Amino acid sequence: MRYISTRGTAPTVSFDEVLLVGLARDGGLYVPESWPEFSEAEIATWKEFSYTKLALEVMFPFVSDALSRNELKGIIDDAYGQFETDKIVPIVNIENEEWLMELFHGPTLAFKDIAMQFLGSLFDHVLAKRSQTICIVGATSGDTGSAAIAALRNRKNINAFILYPHGRISDVQRRQMTTVIADNISTIALEGTFDDCQDAVKSLFNDLEFRDKHKLSAVNSINWARIMAQVVYYFWAALKVGGPRQRVNFAVPTGNFGNVFAGYVAKRMGLPVKQFIVGSNSNDILTRFFETGRMEIMDVQPTISPSMDIQISSNFERLLFEVYNRDGPRVADTLHNFRKTGILAVPMNILEKVRELFNGACFDDDETRSIINKTFIEKGILLDPHTSVGLAAARECRLGISEPMLVLATAHPAKFPEAVMRASGSRPTLPKHLEDLMLREEHINILVNDVELIKDFIEKRTLE
């Protein structure tokens, strides 16, 4: 499989280049040249497969020009060894045909582990094969950074630097990063906001000399390999509730649109899905888009589901590319305009196409807490705030109750203990492997928001 850019002018590249480069040279995102397809009969034969065996079937067509089946199998086995359950993603019934996909049993308690653990193992393999090293630099508002650190720690050919906004992430999130002891990992507590962290990372990448010297690379959610690893659990969950003969629905709490786009890919590959429902918090730019066909950037509002406090859903570009019939220049035009004016508008026929599959609803913090409370009182299930937004959206947008509704549970409630405690009156407990997290020694490196100081810091640590 070769990869093309959503903006149509970058050269096509192989899978390992997509992995290492991330963003295409024309500013677009990479997508496969065509979607691999499976028949319903073929998908049905995977019903009894383990998660890792299924992952091999679903992902192999995307990587076959870069890896052998056996290599991919090794990478997958390495990636999913550290999960709390060998089911990897347990599917739990709420009531009737309403199900939770528990995506939070990885090392850092959020769904991002599923793709990130795979990415760590994949990087390791590909870099060793090419005798290359890289330096990962990333900004995090909490979950991505800890997932990246857990996945990249002690990987021989990788150095990683993760920037987070000092004093602006939760204690659990910070400790999941600052208590990790590994020579190849450094965290930077930047005196600034998450946006300052992102801007600092952008400046590092824009300094081409520095970028080439240190072989900078990224693990953010625009990396195709992360999306690809997430496609697997859509197949997995559908197979557990009667698919592929039974059509299913998914409800996804959404920020960057990466997770739900992976679901769309599963559908394009042959999985029968009726609806994708997108849940947003008060940052409701996507919900408004599904209503009006218009996106308009506003200020980011802080909520109790911070991993969805996002205005620009970067992976939406991949869906736009599909509904524009893969017209790259048209996507480029639309997005340049969006950056310039803060407004993205699509014609009615395009909006109709999007609406055939997608719908969305948004909920403020009070509504989010109320669903957490109700689900705990009635079912004894503790939801984290992100999952709660997803469940609320599922109930609001569902078109019929006979088909299964799979709600993606994206974080463990103990990752957001204060919000969950306040909503439910019950304090969620950390799983065993993190029981002593609040007692572990932290290593905090506070830096002033100055790109030169960050560069010095990286230089020193890489040479050591």
Separation between Cα atoms, residue 400 and residue 277, nearest integer Å: 13
C-alpha distance from residue 140 to each of 118, 228, 351, 449 (Å): 19, 21, 32, 15
Min dist CB 370 to ligand PLP, Å, is 19
Separation between Cα atoms, residue 186 and residue 363, nearest integer Å: 36
Q: By CB under 6 A, tell whether 198 contacts ligand PLP.
A: no
State both tokens at 210. 């520095």
The binding track of 434-453 with respect to ligand PLP, each residue x by CB under 6 A or -, is --------------------
Separation between Cα atoms, residue 283 and residue 311, nearest integer Å: 6
Query: In the annotation, is 112 catalytic?
Result: yes
Min dist CB 114 to ligand PLP, Å, is 11
Min dist CB 133 to ligand PLP, Å, is 28
Among 117, 173, 176, 221, binds ligand PLP (CB under 6 A): 221
Q: By CB under 6 A, tell whether 287 contacts ligand PLP.
A: no
Separation between Cα atoms, residue 201 and residue 161, nearest integer Å: 10
Q: With CB under 6 A as the contact rule, which of the stretches 31-39, 43-51, 248-256, 453-461 interacts with ligand PLP?
A: 248-256
Instruction: Tell which positions 57-86 bind ligand PLP, by CB under 6 A.
Output: none
Min dist CB 111 to ligand PLP, Å, is 6
Closer residue to ligand PLP in complex, CB, 217/303:
303
Min dist CB 250 to ligand PLP, Å, is 12
Q: By CB under 6 A, tell whether 110 contacts ligand PLP.
A: yes
Closer residue to ligand PLP in complex, CB, 56/286:
286
Q: By CB under 6 A, tell whether 113 contacts ligand PLP.
A: no
Among 225, 362, 411, 423, binds ligand PLP (CB under 6 A): 411
Min dist CB 429 to ligand PLP, Å, is 18
The beta strand positions in 379-461, using DSSP E, are: 405-409, 446-448
Contacts of 205 (CB under 8 A, 6+ apart): 137, 211, 216, 218
Separation between Cα atoms, residue 395 and residue 61, nearest integer Å: 35
Nearest to 264 by CA among 307, 231, 312, 313: 231
Closer residue to ligand PLP in complex, CB, 254/334:
254
Helix (H, G, I), strand (E, B) or coil at 212: helix
The answer to whether the beta carbons of residues 190 and 163 sit under 8 Å apart is yes
Closer residue to ligand PLP in complex, CB, 110/397:
110
**Helices 316-323/348-355 angle, 10° precision:** 110
Q: What is the dihedral of CA 379, 385, 389, 392, to 10 degrees?
A: 20
The answer to whether the beta carbons of residues 176 and 146 sit under 8 Å apart is yes
Among 145, 255, 263, 428, binds ligand PLP (CB under 6 A): 255
Among 256, 275, 281, 368, binds ligand PLP (CB under 6 A): 256
Q: By CB under 6 A, tell whether 410 contacts ligand PLP.
A: yes
Separation between Cα atoms, residue 15 and residue 62, nearest integer Å: 8
Separation between Cα atoms, residue 411 and residue 106, nearest integer Å: 10
Min dist CB 257 to ligand PLP, Å, is 5
Among 248, 251, 308, 405, binds ligand PLP (CB under 6 A): 308
Closer residue to ligand PLP in complex, CB, 369/386:
386
Binding site for ligand PLP (CB under 6 A): 110, 112, 143, 221, 253-259, 307-308, 386, 410-411
Q: Which residues are catalytic?
A: 112
